[in-house]
Amino acid sequence: MALTNVNSILIIGMAGGLAKITAGLLLKTYPEATIVGIDSRESDQFLKDGRIKYQRMKYTRSNFEKLFRNNKFDAVLHLGRISHTQANPRAHLAERLDLNVMGTNRILELSLHFEVKKVIILSTYHVYGAYADNPIFLKEDSILRASLNHPELRDVVEMDQLASNWMWKYQHQIETLILRPCSIVGPQIRNAMAQYLVTKYVPVPMDYNPMLQLIHEYDMASVLVHALKYIPTGIYNVATDESMSVHEIKNYMNIPYIPVPVFLLEQLAKVINRTFWSVPDYLIDYLKYPCILSNTELKKHLPPNFFKFSTREILNLIKQD
């Protein structure tokens, strides 16, 4: 069931910054298409376009069934994963398991039943985990080890694995993509890593200096739009060719920071949680050990010079924001 015409698109997680950017690019690429965007959150900033219909709803099976029954979707973009930016992510694990794992399963089943032609699921590079023995470049067939040291990442790993198994089981009936991007950064997206990089006087490990990858929100949205027609079923890491170390980024941005031994970092992170913003526990590992993605598989399906923003341009933009 190859996707040839794109007339109706469902975007799950429409209140998020990436979804809004993606919706705008989709309407430019497919001017005849209509978009139904859903989210469990309120959204007050939206494109004033009659081709976009926003609906706030609870992610229940009955609501999803009604949604699919009343619309003939050609494609589904599942961008609605709950993140782990809360100061105490374990307290929200049950909720995240229900949405990220069970919700994804409902979406996949309904997409198959109602003959959706293509489903794109947004995962994350966090599923691999940051470990001292990680290879220089993590490929898509690398073991997903994130939840071994951090049970709060269990829902993300299970969601990715569930989608992967389902994708190969039904690969001849529906096209399915799983995207694992590096840290997505931009004016409308501020994840934990991005906040850490731009915040003054945060502790930075003096005895570790791992490389990091960043992708601009516009480039990530462009990948999603391009994937609708030109990227076949499979799992794809999403990252540019560039990477920079934590120290190099901080020095380039000329933002003051506090060098500390890594064993003090966890204690200082607790102080930051009470003052500046929420630091997920697992973030500490990504400041110690590398988790660099291979983008070889993705680049097979992208035109040359696809990514518009270099790492330094991304850093300049978030520094000014």
Instruction: Return averaged pLDDT per consecutive 10 residues of the chain, 321 residues in all.
Output: 80 92 95 92 72 89 94 94 50 59 89 96 95 95 91 88 96 97 90 82 87 96 97 97 94 89 73 60 86 97 96 87 60
Identify the residue whose tokens are 């997903």. Answer: 144
Residue 151 lies in a domain: yes
pLDDT of residue 32: 92
Task: Using DSSP bridges, classify how beta strands 211-212 and 244-245 pair: parallel, antiparallel or unpaired.
Answer: antiparallel
Do the domain assignments include residue 255? no
Task: Identify the CA nearest to 122 among candidates 35, 273, 195, 18.
Answer: 18
232 inside domain = yes
Helices (H), ranges, the chain: 17-29, 61-70, 93-96, 104-113, 146-149, 154-169, 192-198, 217-230, 246-253, 265-275, 283-286, 296-299, 311-320
Q: What pLDDT sits at residue 95?
A: 61
pLDDT at 255: 87
Helix 104-113 to helix 61-70 angle, to the nearest 10 degrees?
30
Provide the pLDDT for residue 88.
43
CB 100 within 8 A of CB 156: yes
Q: What is the pLDDT of residue 258?
A: 85
Give the pLDDT score at 64.
Answer: 93
Q: What is the pLDDT of residue 92?
A: 61
Domain for residue 273, yes or no?
no
Q: What is the pLDDT of residue 224?
A: 98
Question: How many CA atoms, within 13 angstroms, populate the side-chain half-sphere of residue 15?
Answer: 13
State phi, psi for 269 to the nearest 5 degrees. Answer: -65, -35
Count of Cβ atoms closer than 10 Å to residue 143 Cβ: 10
CA 272 to each of CA 60, 99, 225, 261, 285: distance values in angstroms, whole numbers, following the listed order: 35, 28, 37, 16, 16
Is residue 43 assigned to a domain?
A: yes
195 within some domain: no
Query: 97 in a domain, yes or no?
Result: yes
Helix-, strand-, coil-residue percentages of the chain, each rounded to 5: 40, 20, 40
Exposure of 308 by Cβ count < 10 A (0-12 exposed, 13-18 middle, 19+ buried)? exposed
CA torsion angle 258 259 261 263 (round to 10) = 30
**pLDDT recorded at residue 294:** 98
The answer as to whether 186 is a domain residue is: yes
Mean pLDDT of the chain: 87
CATH code at position 304:
3.40.50.720
The tally of domains found in the chain comes to 1
- Domain of 182 in residue numbering reads as 8-190+213-242+293-308
